[in-house]
Structure 1
Amino acid sequence: MGKIKTHQKLPTKWSEREILRDKGQFWTPNWVAEAMIAYITEDTDLVFDPATGRGAFYEALTILNKPLVSFYGTDIDEEVLADEIYNGTNCIVEKRDFIKNPPKRKFRSIVANPPYIRHHRIDEETKAVLKKLSINITGEKIDGRAGYHIYFLIQALNLLEQDGKLAFIMPADTCEGKFAKNLWKWISENFCIDCVITFDEKATPFPNVDTNAIVFLIKNSIPTTSLYWVKANEAYSTDLFDFVSLKFKKQKFATLDVFNRQLKEGIATGFSRPEQNHNGFKFHLNDFANVMRGIATGSNEFFFLTATQVKEINIPEEFLKRAIGRTKDATESILTLDDVHQLENENRPTYLLSIKGTDNVPLSVSNYLEIGEKMGLPNRALIQQRKPWYKMEKREVPPLLFAYLGRRNTRFIKNEAAVLPLTGFLCVYPLYNDKDFVDKLWQALNHPDTLENLKLVGKSYGSGAIKVEPNNLSKLPIPEHIVKEFDLERQYKTASGQLRIFREQEN
């Protein structure tokens, strides 16, 4: 096991790192920063950091004693730029917006932990700038769900000199988002991806933050067909630094798993995930079930009510449906009516206000709808698409629920309570509703070998959390031995045929 260097400090409380979500600032730990600096500082006299923050990479450069290498950084946060660390020699840091006003030159060595700002926090004017940037550099528009960090990577690669090197630490969605396929096609066709470094849950660079970090080491040279894929299993070990410093030649380390990986497979699977030559999977969830998202109310605080609220407002039963909203309200693999009653006793919402557009509502409900109008609900983006605005989405009760985002092993829940799920869950509708088939499919889906495949179709977040969208859950591979174990194979051909008919009708 590698030992902690004498200059390294164990992390203090995370709150002391002053995470600023709106600014996307998450400070890079020194054991990671030093490995990244080691990669880019060979044969260079200047390191450029476009999102310098509190100076993790400048500090690493100083510690690694590179007196002939100068540092140039940019940032837009005056507070971090005032940090005394930047008073050193061979260091210039200026206030500059790297996206809107990048330096008018190229660099041989670029390193960054770019601001992690998700797309829903980006204003429309900035989104227009980002769209133009991606088209100008890559020739294509990047999907609008890409976060700010993606454009930092694109801009930085565009400013990388021939044979120059780049080291970026990024969230896992860089490889898993809707934009990932086009992004990595462009990168892989124009640059050499030397190495991708991932982190075990207990070695995460950003504890208690809902993202998995990945380090990309990329060179502006002729692309190759393979790369090194690394998993760091222990934080604050020198192994990662040594692996990079030795130019990847030594590949056996106590705290690292190192693999030589084919580029094509890595892009197809996603670099955040282990190697998976999974083209041979015969069965997927969509062979046995249909998947839909849960109900989006547009305003849970208004439409999703407790029993006490229902009584106080005096809402008749015919305008209510039993529902469940948060995954923490369904902690077991079976949800029963007793569980729902327990939630009710805890004053948790369990009733969904469900009104058809043609319903004649009593005065008590009409008065409540007036409150919603005063709250401005009819003008909300999702709600304003409905006619009338309070008309609720329709769903049949799903026999199985899936926890949309979670860390736990039990993600598929048997819905014996017959509740409707909100968007914290996905609806899973087996093609056969008989109890035996539903029960066997539920067991097959909760088998550890099936749950392990969620990594192949979902987005990974911090502490082992995985989020899976409806379309991707449909593609969940179910191992063939699991299908046989639970006697699902005999249903396969019939089920697939029914599913095709269902989709044709749906379209």
Structure 2
Amino acid sequence: MNLFRDILETRQKRIQEEIIALQRRIDGPKGELVRLDGSVEKQPRQLGLEAVTMQKQIETLKNEFDQIALSWDALKTVKDIPFVWDIAFVEIFEGDKEGFDIVIGNPPYVRQENIADPHLSREEITTENKKIYKAKLARSVYQSYPKFFGYNRDRDAASRKLDAKSDLYIYFYFHGLSLLNKRGSFCFITSNSWLDVGYGKDLQEFLLKHCHVKMIIDNQLKRSFASADVNTIIALFSAPDDRIDWASDKTAKFIMFKVPFESVLSAVVFDEIEEIREQKNMPEYKVYPIRQELLLIDGCEVDEEDERGAWGVGQRVKDGITENIIDVVKDKKSSGILIKSAKYIGNKWGGKYLRAPDIYWTILEKGKGKLVRLGDIAEVRFGIKTGANEFFYLDEEKIKQWGIEEEFLKPVIKSPRECKRILIDPKDLKYKIFMCHKDKKDLKGTAALEYIKWGEGQGFHVRPSCAGRARWWDVGTWEYTSILWVETMFEAYRVYRNVGKVYESDKFYGINIKKVPDELCAILNSSVTLLQKLLSGFASLGEGALKTPVYEVKRFLILKSSLDSSNLHKEFFSREIKTIKEETKCNDRCVLDTIIFDVLDLTQTERDAVYEAVINLVESRLKKAGSV
């Protein structure tokens, strides 16, 4: 007990000394002003931005001091001694070392809804104590990096919050980095999902500002673990320093190996990669180096009404190297790049920098002024989440069994497997959705009421999504959408045209546009849109599945101009859609793509490259899924 208190006391004294030293630098020495009458007046020294930086360092040190004081108060008995890295490994964190030289790990992959206190048994876990435990996890990260998260210890509040959907390994990233000394190295192998999904944005921004992202390594041929249905990457970073934004001029490298790792376990290979300064495509691997400043810009979004800047897609040359830039915010007066005025919303590191072929960047360059975000011209929404599919979806046999009234049964497409064509035919659908908006008192004497009572006997009414409704059996009022996007794909790709009155399950996103839905549906079924889906979706699910979040679908770039594709609709929409490789040989598919290629002014070589890219991306994903 005394040992721990001595350690804490020593640390408090050291912090006090650092605070005093910083305050002295801010306050003095003072300059002298000689007046006309010969008198001398002392003037405080002007440090400007340097003083602001030192003041922030003082605030951080004061927060650390207060935390140590709390730890001191908590140490009343031996049983109160918690596990604290700094204390458990005092020989590592005290003195000159100040942390580990290297942190290596393969943390657990636990989806946000399954994160719970590991000290509790399964029977003891509740929704409430899971919420409390996740709040503690988040607070521990905020306390480790108070400046980045804007954490105020007195109010126990952070101005920036971690995404509540974060997988457990995200917390491990932040804590693992905090254990390093200033010269330390970090190496994790984790799921690749944080590279492309929304909850990875905070980690991405932190790394770009406060670490050197040395390497992100993937393998397109083989998965790392046979027992885990996830795709993984290897991440190599420097130690962080969140007191200042120092890392923007560092170069991050994204490496995609084309052969199994065991074939390239050579120092020579990594020495070669270390020396690469521009994009390089070798038989064994592909390297995409990019300055972290550009990665930060690429992931930023600025208010469209911000008169200081505008979005663009282009390139710039720095140190003799041509670099691609997407969504750059440029000052209209000075043509400079604005970062501070934009908000970082996340980036598709996996899609763009590990998997993207050259033709992707060509399309963005040639599409300047011709492309618009889907979410800017159409509404994109989630499909219906019932919370109890066994109750709400009824096939013909179940409908006959219960004799439910027709007014409570609506056509619905539950799975993409039900319809092989773009045009949805209600005759192909296997299910009806139970859609009842009435109270029980208004259902007296109906089969629907008996069915609801049966559902309660099965416990459907206490499931979270159902229990949260005023009437648990009422999924709400929904409008039909004209286009349906499939959330998860395998080796076939189709976006559905919904001309009838058909609702969609949560396996789809509904898309509504007031004008020309046939035209938009044709564009969404083109190979150019497919290429974006293959790069924007995340394949961390394993088994070859590729899922695209709804917010990514909204960001897809489609043609602004109208298409003369009316002659395509009957044949293309009505025939069965084949695998992607087979589709590239279909005449009507090529006619559609040619219309779009012409607008983008792609050469024949570039058109061929689009087909080659989509085929390779699909085949490599499926081959990797079956590699172990």
Q: Is TM-score (shorter-chain normalized) higher than 0.5? A: yes
For residue 98 of structure 1, report the CA deviation from its aligned partner: 10
Aligned to 1:355: 436
Q: CA deviation at 1:353?
A: 0.7
Q: Structure 1, residues 327-376: CA drift from partner, whole Å, max 9, x if none?
A: 33334433313322xx4xxxxxx011110135832332212211222233
Larger Rg: 2
SS in 2 for 1:260: strand
Other-structure match for 1:270: 348
Instruction: State the secondary structure of the residue aligned to 2:274.
Output: coil
Alpha carbons of 1:469 and 1:252: their partners in 2 closer, same or farther (altered >3 Å)?
Answer: closer
Q: Secondary structure at the match of 1:459?
A: coil
Secondary structure at the aligned position of 2:275 is classed as coil
Corresponding residue for residue 165 of structure 1? 185
Residue matched to 1:239? 264
Q: 2:224 matched to which residue of 1?
A: 205
Q: Find out whether 1:414 has 2:497 as its counterpart.
A: yes
Root-mean-square deviation over aligned CA pairs: 3.1
Kindly indicate whether residue 289 of structure 2 is the aligned counterpart of residue 260 of structure 1: yes
Cα deviation code 1:108-138 (max 9, x no counterpart) = 1121221111111112153133112221123
1:137 to 144, 165, 189: 144
Q: Secondary structure at the match of 1:266?
A: helix
TM-aligned CA deviation for residue 303 of structure 1? 1.1
Q: What is the correspondence of 1:384-463 to structure 2 with a 5 Å cutoff?
A: 384-416=467-499, 418-432=501-515, 437-455=516-534, 457-461=536-540, 462=542
Residue deviations 1:64-91, cap 9 Å, x none?
A: xxxxxxxxxxxxxxxxxxxxxxxxxxxx
Q: How many residues align?
A: 380
Which of 199, 205, 218 is the equivalent residue of 2:237?
A: 218
The one-letter amino acid of 1:249's match is: E
TM-score computed with the length of structure 1 as normaliser? 0.67
Report the alpha carbon displacement of residue 264 of structure 1 after superposing the two structures with TM. Answer: 3.6
CA contact (8 A) 1:378 1:384 kept: yes
Distance in structure 1 (CA, Å) of the matches to 2:439 and 2:162: 42
Q: Per the alignment, do residues 177 and 259 of structure 1 end up closer, same or farther by CA in structure 2, a change over 3 Å counting?
A: closer
306, 310, 324: which one aligns with 2:413? 324
Q: 1 CA distance for matches of 2:481 and 2:87?
A: 51
User: What's 1:228 paired with?
Assistant: 253
Contact conserved, 2:197 with 2:348, CA < 8 A, in 1?
A: no
Q: Answer with 272-281 or 421-430: which moved more.
A: 272-281
2:196 and 2:351 in contact (8 A); partners too = no
Partner of 2:62 in structure 1? none
Once the two structures are superposed, residues 368-390 of structure 1 have per-residue CA deviations (whole angstroms, 9 ceiling, x without a partner) of 21122223333322212222221
1:119 aligns with 2:106: no
User: Are the counterparts in 2 of residues 237 and 255 from structure 1 also a CA contact under 8 Å?
Assistant: no
Q: Distance in 2 between matches of 1:439 and 1:374?
A: 45
Task: Return 311-320 or 353-362, whichever deviates more.
Answer: 353-362
3-state SS in 2 of match to 1:426: strand
Q: Is the 8 A contact 2:138 2:171 kept in 1?
A: no
SS at match of 2:375: helix
Q: Secondary structure at the match of 2:203?
A: helix
CA distance in 2, matches of 1:419, 1:298: 19
Give the distance between the partners of 2:86 and 2:419, measured in 1 at CA: 46
In the TM superposition, residue 97 of structure 1 has moved relative to its aligned partner by 9.1
What do the CA deviations read for 1:311-342 (whole angstroms, capped 9, x no partner)?
111101011101122233334433313322xx
Structure 1 residues 410 and 304, CA gap change in structure 2 (3 angstroms): same
- Within 5 A, what are the aligned runs for 1:1-40? none
Indicate if the aligned counterparts of 2:208 and 2:293 stay in contact, CA closer than 8 A.
no
One-letter code of the match for 1:176?
D
User: 1:158 Cα deviation (Å)?
Assistant: 0.3
Counterpart for residue 474 of structure 1:
554
Name the structure, 1 or 2, with higher relative contact order (CA <8 Å, separation 6+): 1
In 2: Cα distance, 1:369 partner to 1:99 partner: 55
CA distance in 1, matches of 2:557, 2:391: 38
Note the C-alpha offset of 1:427: 0.8
- 1:504 corresponds to which residue? none
1:144 alignment partner AA: A
- CA gap of 1:159–1:411, structure 2 versus 1, over 3 A, is farther
Larger proportion of helix: 2
Cα distance change on mapping 1:328 and 1:189 into 2, 3 Å: same
Structure 1 pair 181/219, CA: closer, same or farther in 2 (3 Å)? same
Amino acid at match of 1:412: V
**Structure 1 residue corresponding to 2:458, chosen from 351, 375, 379:** 375
Find the residue that maps to 1:442 and give its secondary structure.
helix
Counterpart CA distance in 1 for 2:85 and 2:523 is: 48
Alignment partner of 1:161: what SS?
Answer: strand
8 Å CA contact 2:481, 2:511 repeated in 1: yes
Structure 2: give runs of 5+ residues left out of the alignment.
Answer: 1-81, 93-98, 117-129, 150-160, 241-245, 300-346, 354-359, 567-594, 597-628
Aligned-residue offset at 1:225:
3.2
Partners of 1:410 and 1:190 lie apart in 2 by: 40
SS of 1:427's equivalent? strand
Return the TM-score normalized by structure 2: 0.55
Q: Which amino acid aligns with 1:326?
A: S
Is contact 2:411-2:433 (8 Å) kept?
yes
Identity of aligned residues (%): 21
Could you say if the C-alpha distance between residues 109 and 307 of structure 1 is closer, same or farther in structure 2, counting changes exceeding 3 Å?
same
Alignment of 1:279-318 (within 5 A): 280=368, 282-318=371-407
